[in-house]
Amino acid sequence: MGITGIIAEFNPLHNGHKHLIDAAKALEKPVAAVISGNFVQRGECACLEKGKRTELALKSGVDIVAELPSLWSMSTAQNFALGGVWQLYSLGCNEIIFGSECGEIDKLTSIADIMCSDDFFKELTKDVNGANTFAVAREEAAGRLGADVSVLRNPNDNLGVEYIIAAKKLNLPINFRCIKREGASHDSRCISGDFVSASYIREELMRGNIAFAERFMPSNLHGDICKKDIADTKRLETAILSALRTKTAKDFATLPDISEGLHNRLEFAVRVATSLEELQAQLKSKRYTLARVRRLILSAFLGFDNSFFMRTPPYVRLLGASEKGLGELSKGTLYDVLTKPAQIKALSADAEKVFSAECRATDIYTLSLKSPLEAGLEYKRKFLKSEELI
């Protein structure tokens, strides 16, 4: 039967995510979720530590929770998708389900086919001056080949296309399904019944308004979030600015997804900016989106480079599972699956490098909590079993 897979941030887990989990469970197979590490694609700290998000996912019906390391979770849509799809396949997933604004998998697959063609890459290179963002250049190139590029402007549809492309590039036999997204649109501040955007929930959590967040979370999760659990990137502001002032353009040139010349702009900006907001404003432009700028800043701060950019993760680390999930995994997986940090030592040098970067990221992340934690959390992390959480 295999496993049904979900790629998510659960930042935090809300009713929209529960709707997706329930749709996955309706396929009557174990459900695995690959979730972001402690830093997310927006170039920010996850609002809740990945251990807490694992707990909420298991309580919401997920059978297997694996971690997408921060080198992939805080990255471009292409790299995020590549890492997530590969990890799900490695766990034995033969089907991936995701939320979609259009709800039409054939339309998304058609666009992915065009974007994997030789003709598409020829069209993409016509933006020789790099005047547009990559997203705009890609959209224009696909449009010239007849793709319905309007869906690429929808964040969930766009990410879904990237999942399909990743599977095609890796030649993985994975079936894709999508369900139409319910409720408020991405980044909206509108309330639609029991649904609201994750960004709105995060804003309220930062204000300490946990009651607002719980209105749009599954009822069995109420009471699971405390104010001390909420992380805020702003708590790292001085540390980020001070660390970046010690770096040079040469250091910045090795960042993931860095463009020619941007490393020089970054070196200048970090020496004149006196706040994160000011630093981001100096770097943001028509060509460089705010999310990309935030990712570059945090990557420099965390010591990430381009060594693993657009490569598949060298291992899969489980954060938690149900008995049903563990039973399915016991039948065998396609890659190295870890439940304990000590198992890293038996793997490759690349695996040790990625895990070391994750440990460093977590040690810094814990300083963004209202009540900072000591370092070394990755080595003390308890593997969660859903049956023990009830």
Q: What is the pLDDT of residue 132?
A: 76
Could you tell me if 163 and 76 lie in one domain?
yes
The pLDDT confidence band at residue 271, using thresholds 50, 70 and 90, is: very high
Could you tell me if 275 and 163 lie in one domain?
no
Q: Are 63 and 30 spatial neighbours (Cβ–Cβ below 8 Å)?
A: yes
Q: Does residue 134 lie within any of the structural domains?
A: no
Give CA torsion, residues 203, 205, 210, 216, to 10 deg.
50
Q: What is the pLDDT of residue 216?
A: 96
Mean pLDDT along residues 121-129: 79
Per cent of the chain over pLDDT 90 is 85
The pLDDT confidence band at residue 135, using thresholds 50, 70 and 90, is: confident
Q: Which of 54-63, 125-134, 256-265 has the highest mean pLDDT?
A: 54-63
Residue 359 in this model has a pLDDT that exceeds 70: yes
The pLDDT confidence band at residue 259, using thresholds 50, 70 and 90, is: confident
CA distance 280 to 268: 12
Q: What is the pLDDT of residue 241?
A: 98
Q: What is the pLDDT of residue 159?
A: 97
Q: What is the pLDDT of residue 207?
A: 94
The pLDDT tens digits of the residues spanning 310-349 come to: 999 999 999 999 999 999 988 876 667 889 999 999 999 9
Q: Does residue 132 lie within any of the structural domains?
A: no
Could you tell me if 28 and 160 lie in one domain?
yes
Mean pLDDT along residues 351-373: 96
Residue 262 in this model has a pLDDT that exceeds 60: yes
Q: Does residue 137 lie within any of the structural domains?
A: no
Could you tell me if 371 and 302 lie in one domain?
no
The pLDDT confidence band at residue 1, using thresholds 50, 70 and 90, is: confident
Residue 204 in this model has a pLDDT that exceeds 80: yes
The total of other beta-carbon atoms located within 10 Å of residue 117's CB is 13
Instruction: Indicate the residue type of 109.
Output: T
CATH number at residue 81: 3.40.50.620
**Angle between the 134-144 and 105-115 helix axes, to the nearest 10 degrees?**
100
Domain extent for 364: 3-101+154-185+310-388
Could you tell me if 68 and 175 lie in one domain?
yes
Q: Judge residue 193's burial from the number of C-beta atoms within 10 Å of its C-beta, 0-12 exposed, 13-18 middle, 19 or more buried.
A: exposed
Q: Does residue 277 lie within any of the structural domains?
A: yes
Mean pLDDT along residues 133-146: 90
Q: What is the SS3 assignment for 32?
A: strand
Per cent of the chain over pLDDT 70 is 96
Mean pLDDT along residues 106-132: 87
Q: Does residue 216 lie within any of the structural domains?
A: no
Q: What is the pLDDT of residue 336?
A: 75
Sequence-separated contacts (24+) of 208-216 with Cβ below 8 Å: 213/12, 213/14, 216/14, 216/15
Q: Are 275 and 237 spatial neighbours (Cβ–Cβ below 8 Å)?
A: yes
Of 280, 308, 336, the position where a domain reaches its end is 308
Q: Nearest Cα to 85, choosing from 165, 179, 178, 1?
A: 165
CA distance 135 to 141: 10
Q: What is the pLDDT of residue 190?
A: 83
Could you tell me if 335 and 367 lie in one domain?
yes
Residue 129 in this model has a pLDDT that exceeds 70: no
The pLDDT tens digits of the residues spanning 32-46 come to: 999 999 999 999 999
Q: What is the pLDDT of residue 193?
A: 85
Task: Kindly report the average pLDDT of the chain as a whole number.
Answer: 93
The pLDDT tens digits of the residues spanning 153-203 come to: 999 999 999 999 999 999 999 999 999 987 666 667 788 888 999 999 999
Residue 128 in this model has a pLDDT that exceeds 60: no
CA distance 102 to 157: 7
Q: Does residue 33 lie within any of the structural domains?
A: yes
Q: Does residue 120 lie within any of the structural domains?
A: no
